Amino acid sequence: MSDIQARFQHGWPGFTLDVDLVIPGHGVTALFGSSGSGKTTLLRCIAGLERAPSGQLVVDGEVWQDDTTWLPTHRRALGYVFQEASLFPHLNVLGNLRYGIKRTPQGSVLALEQAVELLGIGHLLQRRPDGLSGGERSRVAIARALALNPRVLLMDEPLAALDLKRKQEILPYLKRLHAELDIPILYVSHSPDEVAQLADYLVALDDGRAVAHGPVDDVLSRIDLPIRLGEDVGVVIDGVLAAVDIGWHLARVNFEGGHLWTRDLGLQVGRTVRMRVLARDVSIAVTKPEGSSIQNVLPCRIDAIADDGHPGLALVRVNVGVTVFICRTTRRALDTMNIAVGLNVWLQIKSAAILEW
Ligand SMILES: Nc1ncnc2c1ncn2[C@@H]1O[C@H](COP(=O)(O)OP(=O)(O)OP(=O)(O)O)[C@@H](O)[C@H]1O
């Protein structure tokens, strides 16, 4: 599917959404930003629930909005999943799923069956919504959106109403959507963790404007991001599980330019693995550390140094081959070690601190 072109200026006193974006026509694009940054407003403009004057929206080559065209929401081939899974209480799950497809031209029984399979809700079809857990309700709401056979799936913080346990339960299904659906997913979130796990592409919104956008690994490896990530500053790295040390329950993940040892999660060798390495879990040394407990010691080059919102701290961007890591360190350490851009140093990352999926 071709890209989504979205240009909107829309707002209220005190807030204006002002974006001009090209969003990839495949994979998951996270719309990320703090509360009130305009994520939901952007989604609603795309859905036709808000009408931005002189906006422009082209989805898969079809004009949904321009100076002369305005498709109402029901004529836009989209699925919308809201924060709260608002299911009809008087209908069972199957009734809820069928409700939408009867009213939308592109909805189909085939798409409904595929959605049921994809979300693993076949055993729930005869149940009423009040007999479902929060996670199950969310899965039904996602299936209901997919049964409409959409060209784009819009998800507005679909996990927001769930506790941590339920979130963990549903994330595998979201990853499955990502792997098996051809359509693009626009995923609103203010959780860096969810974004790191799910997104291919990231649009960072701040006060109604897209202040950074691009592939998720590129955006998260910037140390000059105009949005504050605080403790969540860190990179995502896609690698391949290359070997397992069975005796010590560790896995070696190769990435472009090196490898990292992480805990073994029992994943298949040869599988792609996404890792998240937080800046606070990375340190640098000018000479190769010996006799340290740190399992990952990699040669690297200092690429850039930036402020970190606290006068005592800095963010250091380093390159291991073509792969970027970020280290959060004290200004004093940098000064003591004479760290400067261009210097070749050693990077240390605790295996236990690496998050992987
Ligand atoms: N219908 C409306 N009338 C007036 N102001 C609105 C309206 N809808 C949203 N706003 C304001 O526009 C701004 C952006 O809201 P929006 O819901 O898009 O933010 P958000 O990034 O999705 O936030 P959150 O993460 O809290 O859901 C906020 O200041 C909000 O109060």
CATH number of the domain encompassing residue 283: 2.40.50.100
Return d(Cα 17, Cα 209) in angstroms, integer.
Answer: 6
User: What spacing in Å lies between the alpha carbon of 23 and ligand 1's midpoint?
Assistant: 21
Taking residue 14's Cβ as centre, other Cβ atoms within 10 Å add up to: 6
User: CATH code at 102?
Assistant: 3.40.50.300
Final residue in a domain of this structure, among 205, 232, 259: 232
Does 286 share its domain with 188? no
Residues with CB under 6 A from ligand 1: 12, 15, 33, 35-41, 190
Final residue in a domain of this structure, among 232, 260, 292: 232
Give nearest CA residue, ligand 1 atom 6.
12
Residue 173, pLDDT score: 84
Does 30 share its domain with 139? yes
Does 270 share its domain with 307? yes
Does 238 share its domain with 267? yes
Residue 230, pLDDT score: 81
Does 248 share its domain with 200? no
Pairing of strands 185-189, 78-81: unpaired
Does 56 share its domain with 73? yes
Residue from 8, 9, 10, 12 to probe ligand 1 pocket by mutation (most atoms less than 8 Å from CB): 12
Q: Write out the two tokens for 241.
A: 């599980």
Does 203 share its domain with 241? no
Does 11 share its domain with 84? yes
The ranges of the chain with pLDDT < 70 are none
By the 8 A CB rule, do 107 and 115 touch? no
Does 281 share its domain with 256? yes
Residue 78, pLDDT score: 93
Residue 231, pLDDT score: 86
Give nearest CA residue, ligand 1 atom 29.
36
- Distance, CA of 269 to chain centre: 24
Final residue in a domain of this structure, among 209, 232, 255: 232
By the 8 A CB rule, do 236 and 222 touch? no
Does 202 share its domain with 248? no
By the 8 A CB rule, do 229 and 59 touch? no
Does 238 share its domain with 283? yes
Secondary structure in 3-state letters for 240-283: EEEEEECCCCEEEEEECCEEEEEECCCCCCCCEEEEEEEHHHEE
Q: Write out the two tokens for 296.
A: 């990952």
User: What spacing in Å lies between the alpha carbon of 163 and ligand 1's midpoint?
Assistant: 23
The radius of gyration of the chain from alpha carbons, rounded to an integer in Å, stands at: 23
Instruction: Give the count of domains, the chain.
Output: 2
Does 190 share its domain with 255? no
Residue 103, pLDDT score: 72
Domain that holds residue 306: 234-356
